[in-house]
Amino acid sequence: MITSAQMRAARALLGLDQRQLAQAAGLSLPTIQRMEASDDLVRGNVDSLVKVVEALEGLGVELIGEGMVSAGGGRGVRLKVAPAANEGEVGSTRT
């Protein structure tokens, strides 16, 4: 549904801290903190996940799922597929 990286990126785009997102979604700060601490897909009960997604979308963020095309204009962020090991790593030394 949504990844922890998407949540953090969406907050950054909106200029929100975790407390502000919690208020917008009607959730507690610890709930948002736990969600963002997830490894990949956000863990949590479905109702809380829906509240976060609806809050972010209501504030103007379009969440783009894997393989989806953005429906609207505007700026956004999307992660590329991870490069092969050691290719394109910042600070990598190639000889």
Enter the CATH code of domain 1-95. 1.10.260.40
The domain ranges of the chain are 1-95
Give the closest residue to 56 by CA, choosing from 91, 84, 92, 32: 32
Q: What is the pLDDT of residues 18-75, one digit of tens each?
A: 999 999 999 999 999 999 999 888 888 999 999 999 999 999 888 887 777 776 666 6
Q: Which residue has the tokens 């095309």?
A: 69
41: β partners: 3
Average pLDDT over residues 3-28: 94
Whether the Cβ atoms of residue 40 and residue 79 lie closer than 8 Å to each other:
no
Is pLDDT of 94 > 50?
Answer: no
pLDDT score of 63: 84
Between residues 45 and 80, which one has the greater pLDDT?
45
What confidence score (pLDDT) does residue 62 get? 84
Distance linking the first and last C-alpha atoms of the chain: 41
